[in-house]
Amino acid sequence: MPKGDSKNDEQHNPQRAANRRRLDLISAAGLIILVLISAVWVGKMTATGAITTWLVFVAATITALTTGFGALPFLFTKDISKSWLGYGNALAAGLMLGASIGLLWEGTEIDGVSMPALRTAIGALIGGVLVYYIHGALEKRKENFSIGQIHGANAVKMLMIVGIMTAHSFAEGIGVGVSYGESSTFGVFITIAIAIHNIPEGLAISLILIPRGSSVRAAAGWSIFSSLPQPLMAVPAFWFVLAFKPFLPFGLGLAAGAMLWMVAKELLPEAKAELSNGKVYSLVTITALAMIAFQLVIH
């Protein structure tokens, strides 16, 4: 396991492992309850026909919180061996590849915006170039870089994944705000779609973090953190629908370009270091196609 991994200590301290699992379970239960209560409240408020700023903010917060659900499957996995790094990278690559294709398609299909395909393409190009330079800057400092107990290259990779997903969330937050600016029914539909869509994105983040020593609780927290721009951007987008809508294709393209770079330059090479090429490309293809199909169904 990576340097600084707390699991090595827990193997010699069963009480610490038990406390960590207890906190993970309590946090998971609290997250689920909070999402359910918020969803019921949004449903009741929407039924009144009044769309308020507070309603838009809470709805977008729900989409952010559901990203944390992606970490919950790891509550039932006690041992994460080194081979999980290969499988985790391959699955995360597939999820991000499928999400990127969905974002590019969605960006070109936005109504009421001039040249959406061109805006999306420009955003994708800038996203790829931007993440290339950021990654290069972090690589030069990786020996002194850490996140909690995770150090070096693993910390850089965790920051890159969370950072890219966070950039992605800005566009989704604008999407939520714009949708409520058009109608309450459309707003609820987009909120549900993005909330469900965020779960596999949280899984992609968790697949990178947890095999490298992060707890389920921390992985869920970082997943939710990556989606915090959604409630922050939803409110101003709701207030100024016409001003924000033209930025949607560019934002979606930017996130797609960044994710595609991460898949090609980081996740795939690391997955192939642990697994055969056949296994890696099979997992990536199946996962990407499943993610694309999933996005088509919820949209």
pLDDT, one tens digit per residue, over 125-184 is 998 888 787 777 766 665 555 555 555 556 666 677 777 777 768 777 887 887 787 677
Which percentage of the chain shows pLDDT scores above 90? 19
> Is there a domain that residue 22 lies in?
yes
pLDDT tens-place string over residues 182-240? 677 777 877 887 887 788 778 878 887 887 777 888 889 988 988 888 898 888 888 88
pLDDT band at 246, cuts 50/70/90? Answer: confident
Domain limits at 172?
7-298
> Is there a domain that residue 17 lies in?
yes
> Is there a domain that residue 86 lies in?
yes
Residue 140 has what pLDDT? 64
Residue 182 has what pLDDT? 67
> Is there a domain that residue 2 lies in?
no
DSSP states of the chain as a string?
Answer: --TT-THHHHHT-HHHHHHHHHHHHHHHHHHHHHHHHHHHHHHHHHHTT---HHHHHHHHHHHHHHGGGGGGGGGG-----THHHHHHHHHHHHHHHHHHHHHHHHHHT-TTSSSHHHHHHHHHHHHHHHHHHHHHHHHTTGGG-EETTEEHHHHHHHHHHHHHHHHHHHHHHHHHHHHHHH-HHHHHHHHHHHHHHHHHHHHHHHHHHGGGT--HHHHHHHHHHHTTHHHHHHHHHHHTHHHHGGGHHHHHHHHHHHHHHHIIIIIHHHHHHHS-HHHHHHHHHHHHHHHHHHHHHH-
Residue 289 has what pLDDT? 93
pLDDT tops 70 at residue 43: yes
Number of domains in the chain: 1
pLDDT tens-place string over residues 167-193? 768 777 887 887 787 677 777 877 887
pTM equals 0.70
Cα separation of 175 and 173, whole Å?
5
Single-letter amino acid, residue 191: T
> Is there a domain that residue 272 lies in?
yes
> Is there a domain that residue 145 lies in?
yes
> Is there a domain that residue 64 lies in?
yes
Compute the average pLDDT of residues 107-121: 88
> Is there a domain that residue 99 lies in?
yes
